[in-house]
Chain A
Amino acid sequence: MKYAFFPGCSMESTAGDFRMSTLAVAEALGVELEEIPDWSCCGSTPAHATDSLLAASLPARNLAIAQDMGKDVVVCCASCYSRLASANVALAENADLRAQVAEITGREYAGGLKIRHFLQVLNEDIGLSEIKDSVVKSLSGLKVACYYGCLLTRPKELSILNDPEDPQLMDNIMAAAGAEPVEWPYKTECCGASFSITRTETVERLSGDILRMAKQSGADCIVAACPLCQSNLDLRQADVEKATGEKIGLPVFYFTQLLGHALGIPDAALGINKLMVDPSAILAR
């Protein structure tokens, strides 16, 4: 199974562990992720918050390059996924936009590629039974709260999930790896996203709600699929605890890290040592 891989900026920096674990899991399951050569930023929130043409052009450049690779594009970052997928639809549907974008990027792209999230590849292409068979270190006994956030679920038309209100893709994978996904209501609540920098107290409140709900629902840890969600829940957890004086202590993994662990990949190769909330106690069980 070969795919054109778009890592995105986060996975080069704060989410380096997401990248490490993704590539390690892919290799272990026989998935070939070929990086799109000379890829550039997807534009993320700043582009589409300021200029719709810019928001289409930045992903379009990457898609035009990927087009020559002739494979489905695989993305891990939720924001990159959202931008690439929405530009893909916009370019296919709007000829005027297509012409404008082609002039800016100097490349023709008329839609047609399939943009997939790695969660879809695991669920649909590899399959849950294959994952189950590949597990060497079952996560049994581990209660996980799968957290999907906003960008993988909205808008409904772009959602990777056939069920945006109660998504299951991560839950399925965690269950296949032996863990016990908890039922909880905050799977798709907002973590506060990029307000982490400009209005930290808002993020502390929103992410705090998510952390407390996960804990209250009996989870031992949270599993995330977005670099910004993971960072807000993990990195800001100490601030949340300080603000409320309430100990939470929930490790926040990327789904690829926990899956990699179950597949027997050494924790160091998954970047697990990079997490802020120490997961060693729950992984040692």
Chain B
Amino acid sequence: MRIGVFVCWCGSNIAKTVDVQAVAEAAKDMPGVAFATDYKYMCSEPGQNIVKDAIREHKLDRIVIASCSPRLHEPTFQRCIGDAGLNPYMVEMANLREHCSWVHEHTPETTQKAIELVRMAVAKVSKDQPLFRKDIDLTKRALVIGGGIAGIQAALDIADAGHPVVLVERTPSIGGHMAQYDKTFPTLDCAACILTPKMVDCASHPLIDIWTYSEVEEVKGFVGNFEVTIRKRAKSVDETKCTGCGLCLEKCPMKGISSEFDESMGTRRAIYRPFPQAVPNKPAIDRAHCRLFNGQKCGVCQKLCPAGAIDYDQQDQLVTENFGGIVVATGFQLWNHAALGEYGYGKYPNVISSIQFERIMNASGPTDGHIVRPSDGKTPKSIAFLSCIGSRDDTHGHAYCSKVCCMYNAKQALLVKDKLHDVDTYVFYMDIRANGKGYEEFVRRTIEDFGANYIRGRVSRIYPDGDQLVIKGADTLLGKPVEVRADLVVLATAMEPQHDAKDLARKLGISTDQYNWFSEAHPKLKPVEVLTDGIYLAGACQYPKDIPDTVAQASGAASKVIGLFSKPSIKSQPMIAYINEDTCAGCGLCTEVCPFGAIDLVEVMDRSKSTREKQVMKTVAQVNEGVCKGCGTCSAACRSLSARLRGFEGNQILAEIDALAESKRS
């Protein structure tokens, strides 16, 4: 055994408080050490060359780098010694910087501690075993969950790079919330004009399969090899036969069902497509409202359908498919303001939410774009827009800012003035958060060129008076109570995670924050990744985002998938757990504590009890090597020392402790 020790100054970071030369000198006397030296920047190219040259010259087989945290440079030195012909895992880092020089004064004890850290690393490296990465096969096919603008963008980017994509959407059409909007801030291009071409691109792309009316049921496997079960709900319409002629939509006798797409501002029938530009442009039967499925006589759609596409006997299909990477783009939902007593619990017809107002403004919406009051169809002469309805409001569970409301309030106030001219607009706000390209200018335009009355303050109560609504609030700039009378009140309700976000997170094995937004792997440097490899986030399922941010992140997620698929196979991380099946009692404690769900219980032959005549089976734990992150929780929990971690074996840890104890004795 010939160990080399390389002590780094880290400029002055370590050398200021630690006598690095004394550390290198001391290392020379440690057991197994054949060479020791120090250098100003061991991670630099000349520093790495010192290591490589020493390995050749002194025939070193194990290396200790006494420098910074392994989190920073362990991969650097693994590569370095690998280049010099050693197994890359025969290196140990002694953390002289974070664990010593940074936290101590320049005293002899500091140098002594540095020597002890090196002694421990030397002891550990002497027990190191070569480790090897395995190649894992990879399915170059992506799953995108959620067919809003985030999912659409991600699917298109991945497919354009040449990889097949399945886009799963739970409503009958892709398009998401963006399809509901009228125009988009700050450029006022119509949402449909920029979205529907992308929807059509998805539908016509040879590498994209769109599965609408479908939901993810179960996710198994790991990066490169996910096995996903998807429920394709029965549409009662055979998509291969349906031509999308729309005859059934006109003749279905079940009228007046509140339209989800129109946010209850319009109606649909039992057989429906959410909106005329739906993709796929083929209807589905909503069985909860269909006469036939509720025991009544009907069958009108089947009789009329010229293509014979109506199939009442269709069943939900469970399909299990393999994917290499997953993009989660499930978006958001809007908080229901019916929780607010002060604004009438959703009982006043002329108090509506901003998304409802979008539908009224939309030229293809339920009023053909005529801005009218829900109560009597009259054109409003005054409209009040209220910000932060549930957002930045801890008492209603959303301490966060919903981020987009300031901008769409300004957009709606501008557009309504543009359409109606003879209308007074009021915007109640807490702060105006217009931080985006062209955003602040846009808000100024709404105020200065379109005469919106911005009132800084919150509204305490809304009540009807005659056919108007009285809005009582505070103007905190004037320091006075204000009262505004309006024909229509528009509430900018908080964005919140989908009601079943937590369920999906559990299925995917990813984590959520306190509100159930999906958690990214790092808030700054890994905003697209999650802690599970191969799964990426796009759009508002992570936290409220506007369209530009959503599209940017979707492309980011897509590029991560494309990057993953650019390799022929995936290299496994060797420093992971394994189970000694001979001693494992199958208690299952490790499966419970594993934060990544990487351990399963399996049946194997019990070699100690089986004979040639009779096989005896027993239950043992088994580590899924693609999923294990090497955190070591299982090996700490295992009562029979059967769960072990490569690179952190019991004898390695004990050697470190012995070395420390020895230095204390001497």
A165: chain B residues within 8 A (beta carbon) = 340-342
Say how far B472's CB is from chain A's closest CB, in angstroms: 9
A164: chain B residues within 8 A (beta carbon) = 341
Say how far B356's CB is from chain A's closest CB, in angstroms: 21
On chain A, which size bracket covers the interface? Answer: under 10
**Chain A CB within 10 A, most for which of B461, B464, B470:** B461
A163: chain B residues within 8 A (beta carbon) = 341
Give the size of the chain B interface in residues (CB under 8 angstroms): 9
Let me know if B213 is at the binding interface, CB within 8 A.
no
Let me know if B463 is at the binding interface, CB within 8 A.
yes
The contact string, 1 if C-beta is below 8 Å from chain A, for chain B 195-216, is 0000000000000000000000
Bound complex: CA of A166 vs CA of B464, how far in Å? 14
Contact call A166/B463, Cβ cutoff below 8 A = no
Let me know if A185 is at the binding interface, CB within 8 A.
yes
Say how far A210's CB is from chain B's closest CB, in angstroms: 13
Contact call A166/B461, Cβ cutoff below 8 A = no
Let me know if B132 is at the binding interface, CB within 8 A.
no
CB contacts under 8 Å to B, within A137-191, are 156, 163-166, 185
Say how far A190's CB is from chain B's closest CB, in angstroms: 11
A166: chain B residues within 8 A (beta carbon) = 341, 345
B345: chain A residues within 8 A (beta carbon) = 166
Say how far A147's CB is from chain B's closest CB, in angstroms: 15
Say how far A57's CB is from chain B's closest CB, in angstroms: 30
**Cβ-neighbour of A185 out of B340, B395, B463 (below 8 A):** B463
The contact string, 1 if C-beta is below 8 Å from chain B, for chain A 230-269, is 0000000000000000000000000000000000000000
Say how far A241's CB is from chain B's closest CB, in angstroms: 22
The contact string, 1 if C-beta is below 8 Å from chain A, for chain B 468-510, is 0010000000000000000000000000000000000000000
Q: Considering only CB atoms, which chain B residue lies closest to A185 in the complex?
A: B463
Bound complex: CA of A226 vs CA of B231, how far in Å? 59
A185: chain B residues within 8 A (beta carbon) = 461, 463-464, 470
A156: chain B residues within 8 A (beta carbon) = 395
B463: chain A residues within 8 A (beta carbon) = 185
Say how far A205's CB is from chain B's closest CB, in angstroms: 11
The contact string, 1 if C-beta is below 8 Å from chain B, for chain A 40-81, is 000000000000000000000000000000000000000000
CB contacts under 8 Å to A, within B172-224, are none
Say how far B559's CB is from chain A's closest CB, in angstroms: 48
Bound complex: CA of A166 vs CA of B461, how far in Å? 11
CB contacts under 8 Å to A, within B511-530, are none
Say how far B462's CB is from chain A's closest CB, in angstroms: 8
Bound complex: CA of A165 vs CA of B461, how far in Å? 9
Say how far A239's CB is from chain B's closest CB, in angstroms: 22
Q: Considering only CB atoms, which chain A residue lies closest to B466 in the complex?
A: A216
Bound complex: CA of A185 vs CA of B464, how far in Å? 8
B464: chain A residues within 8 A (beta carbon) = 185
B470: chain A residues within 8 A (beta carbon) = 185
Say how far B351's CB is from chain A's closest CB, in angstroms: 13
Say how far B250's CB is from chain A's closest CB, in angstroms: 41
Bound complex: CA of A163 vs CA of B339, how far in Å? 10
Q: Considering only CB atoms, which chain A residue lies closest to B343 in the complex?
A: A165
Bound complex: CA of A185 vs CA of B342, how far in Å? 9
B340: chain A residues within 8 A (beta carbon) = 165
B342: chain A residues within 8 A (beta carbon) = 165
Bound complex: CA of A163 vs CA of B341, how far in Å? 8
Q: Considering only CB atoms, which chain B residue lies closest to A164 in the complex?
A: B341
**Chain B CB within 10 A, most for which of A156, A163, A164, A185:** A185
Say how far A20's CB is from chain B's closest CB, in angstroms: 34
The contact string, 1 if C-beta is below 8 Å from chain A, for chain B 52-88, is 0000000000000000000000000000000000000
Q: Considering only CB atoms, which chain A residue lies closest to B461 in the complex?
A: A185
Bound complex: CA of A164 vs CA of B340, how far in Å? 10
The contact string, 1 if C-beta is below 8 Å from chain B, for chain A 174-217, is 00000000000100000000000000000000000000000000
Bound complex: CA of A85 vs CA of B345, how far in Å? 28
Bound complex: CA of A164 vs CA of B345, how far in Å? 12
Give 10 pairs: A residue, B residue, CB < 8 Å, sorted on A. A156-B395, A163-B341, A164-B341, A165-B340, A165-B341, A165-B342, A166-B345, A185-B461, A185-B464, A185-B470
The 7 closest A-B pairs by CB, nearest first: A165-B341, A185-B463, A166-B341, A165-B342, A163-B341, A185-B461, A166-B345
Q: Which residues of A contact B (CB under 8 A)?
A: 156, 163-166, 185
